[in-house]
Amino acid sequence: MTTTSLTGALLIGARDVTRDTTFVARRAVDGSALDIAFSCATPDDIRNACALADAAFDTYRHTSLSARATFLDAVATEIEALGEPLIERAHAESGLPVARLTGERGRTMGQLRMFASLLREGRCMDPRIDPALPDRKPMSRPDLRQIRMAVGPVAVFGASNFPLAFSAAGGDTASALAAGCPVVVRAHPAHPGTSELMGRAIRAAITRCTLPEGVFSLIGGPDYAIGATLVQDPAIMAVGYTGSRQGGLALGKIAAARPVPVPVYAEMSSINPVYLLPAALKADAETLGASFVVSLTMGAGQFCTNPGLILGVAGPDFDRFVAAAKAALETAPAPTMLTSGIRSAYEAGVERLAARPGIRALGRGPRGEDSACQAALFETDATTFAADPVMKEEIFGSCSLIVACPDIATLRTLTEALEGQLTATLHMKEADLEDARGLLPVLERKVGRILANAWPTGVEVCSAMVHGGPFPATSDPRTTSVGTGAIERFLRPVCYQDIPQALLPVGLRDGNQPPA
């Protein structure tokens, strides 16, 4: 079983590796240093981790789907066995509430078990068979069989805002392991202790399931060069990343410049527009204003799907919404932000937006402690918004811009000029359906998930979920990082022509295909 004792070591396959160069984690609430010095990975450590992953690849990808499912279930069980020390450490490093982290742990175990169930169903490898037609005229057809298989070792970058569900054992790791890809995780430097605990849970499951040690390694350190070196390693065949646009683009350039370029599946930037259609505003303006602020300030706004842009038709009902939002903002919570760097970037973004011509500050929330996020709300008109690209940039935290438009046609015009987004939300009533129908074709080109009468914060982990979207929401709009479809990023199709049954992958042999 796993241990809750932290050592600060790098987890290179089955070995604990310590280095003289170290760094410390800091309490999110006050910046004070936490116990334990964590080793910084050297280029040799990264090469060793990647070499172990490469050596493990062929063995691991040829494990049966049921054996791989058992392994993912075992990882979930080992995470559960970590108990409260995991939650306590994650709370100290991230400042996220214990209740939120407890739910996030459940989500982490749930997505591991979701992929285990997917593997047991067997359809995710998408076997396709076109049997031979020897008597076909004018030309016969050979026996052709296609199946998807793992691409190779995957580099995963832990996300700052989800220390459990998008970190060492999070969604990218779970989907890559499900695909049959060994994983090398670059732990986020803001929560190295949480990452070590999760990494040890994965390693315990590897031992329990007698898998090769190179199936998983965990490296860390605050230097950006660590991630660059990892992506440049020739053993790495794909990259999963959640973070800033700047970081995602930098990794994409590194991956594209390799002798053998590889894909970077980066989730980067989104302001998640929300549309308040006229009938919905007329019926529910005050309720919408209050619920908007709840969504905006949840988790200090440190969600990829935070509602950073509100659009509606100017008029008395829109004014009622704005007044309700302003009132709710006055008593909104001021939660701790994840790191001092994230808080500094948030405040700089708010100041930059406040200084733009044509922007009007509607209010700030309570200040809270030095590490807290003071929510910010701004307003502008459609013409000003259309002319200023700065107003369309994401500010990571509880900041949003409300845009008053003269009519529905302007809503559509503004939407056509937006960048790609993770989500778009339509608040509407029956009388708004025609207006919504006019917006949908544009939204379908711009976003990965379209919501009705809800708020975008909160991502359900299930088969139908899409957590992705056109650039810069993600680097590849064809993919999702949440839901069973996430496995597709780490699979590629291989076709077998006239290959004897005994040499075919098990899933392509006669009678081994899953039921439709």
Q: Which residues are annotated as catalytic?
A: 267, 304
Q: Is the dihedral of CA 299, 305, 310, 312 positive or negative?
A: negative
> In 360-453, where do the E strands start and end?
360-364, 376-381, 399-405, 421-427, 447-452
Q: Is the dihedral of CA 274, 280, 285, 290 positive or negative?
A: negative
Q: Is the dihedral of CA 512, 514, 515, 516 positive or negative?
A: negative
Alpha-carbon 285 to chain mean position: 32
State the residue for tokens 């058992």: 70
The answer to whether the bond into 138 is cis (omega within 30° of 0) is yes
State the residue for tokens 């984690």: 25
Residues ≥6 apart with Cβ < 8 Å to 293: 325, 328, 329, 332, 375
Judge contact between 13 and 46, C-beta under 8 A. Answer: no
Q: Is 326 exposed, middle or buried (0-12, 13-18, 19+ CB in 10 A)?
A: middle
**What are the start-end ranges of the H helices in 122-259?**
171-179, 192-208, 224-232, 245-256
**Token pair of 431, please?**
């009388």
Judge contact between 65 and 120, C-beta under 8 A. Answer: yes
For the beta sheet containing 144-150, the strands, ordered from the edge strand earlier in sequence to the opposite edge, are 128-130, 144-150, 491-497
Give the number of other CB atoms < 10 A from CB of residue 21: 11
